[in-house]
Amino acid sequence: MTEPAWVRLPFRPERAAAARRTSPSRGSGARSAAAALGRTALAMLLSAALSVGAWQALRWSTTTPLFSVREVRFSGLSHAAEADLLARSGLRLGANLMAVDLAAAARAMESHPWVVSARLSRSLPGTVLAEVAEHRAAAQVQLGGLYLLDDEGRVFKRAGPEDGVDLPLVTGLSRDAWLRDRGAAQLRLYSALRLLEAWRAEGLPGASLSEARLEEDGGFTAFAREPAGLQEVRLGANDLPLQLHRLSQLRAALARRGEHAARIDLDSQARPEWVSAQLVPTVR
């Protein structure tokens, strides 16, 4: 039998050292796992400490007398009374500012008929700021009772002496029609607001318009207070600015002649380009 041949390979110590460095040992892996576990435990302890601190800070802020409510400061009020809004809101002086529910207080203030919206905020150390937006009344409307109509066409409350308003009256819309078809009735109220806007835009005195009656054909009959008495003006549904411009011209012409019309018709179906006027007899 032939003896095995032995071959001697060259030994390179630098490769052996590199292999030892790159091959993780069981001891180094254990140390890495322990370090990671320590970091996780430390993070958990820090998170718990912060949570406890935040809870303690919240508990202190909602109980300390330092943040007691000392004032509720209102802005935007014209008709709603501060005392009434405070009573509705449930806010009370001495309550903790950080503990009060401002959203619930704002909703309660919005139950006031004049209030469209209320926005409440905190001002440390002890003030509640209440920014209130109210309805802007544009007219009164007869709906089986006298109600207020705002400039966006919303009927928002029953009118009363305490409101202190002197506004044109919108008539011609029954309460039954309002309850039967609220959408159609709302469109007719919007048209009344357009008439009021066009009246003012023409430069006609807003205070002189005492009543705007909605007619079934979509037109209007306006009743205006004049020095010589009440004037009835019949208006069509279309092109209100043009019709009111013609009214302004007719009034100026009559004034130059020292005359007054008790009734003016700007909606002649037979002769649209004409204006008819019923003059008040002049006493000589």
At residue 76, does pLDDT exceed 60?
Answer: yes
- With cut-offs at 50, 70 and 90, classify the pLDDT of residue 223: very high
CA dist 279 → 204, 211, 261 (Å)? 20, 21, 4
pLDDT of residue 63: 62
Q: What is the pLDDT of residue 60?
A: 47
- DSSP letters for 113-150: TTEEEEEEEEETTTEEEEEEEE--EEEEEESSSEEEEE
pLDDT cut 70: percent of the chain above it: 78
Residue with more model confidence, 249 or 64: 249
User: CB-based contacts of 66: which residues, under 8 Å, 6+ apart?
Assistant: 125
pLDDT for the residue numbered 58 = 47
- Among 145, 143, 140, 119, CA closest to 131: 119
Bridge partners (DSSP) of residue 139 are: 149
Other C-beta atoms lying within 10 Å of the C-beta of residue 257:
9
Contact 135, 150 (CB under 8 A): yes
The tens digit of pLDDT for each residue in 110-122 reads 999 999 999 999 9
In terms of Cα–Cα distance, which of 53, 57, 82 is closest to 67?
A: 57
Which amino acid does the sequence have at 247? L
Question: How does 178-201 read in b/e, with b if 16+ C-beta sit within 10 Å?
Answer: beeeeeebeebbebbbebbebbee
- Averaged pLDDT score across all residues of the chain: 85
Domains of the chain: 65-134 (3.10.20.310), 137-279 (3.40.50.11690)
Collapsing DSSP states into helix, strand and coil, what is residue 278? strand
What number is the average pLDDT over the span 22-37?
65
Q: Residues near 268 by Cβ (< 8 Å), separated by ≥ 6?
A: 274, 275, 276
Is the pLDDT confidence value at 68 over 80?
Answer: yes
> Which region among 158-162, 205-209, 211-215 has the lowest average model confidence (pLDDT)?
205-209
79 pLDDT higher than 80: yes
Greater pLDDT, 11 or 240: 240
- What values do phi and psi take at 50, rounded to 5? -65, -40
Amino acid at 157: K
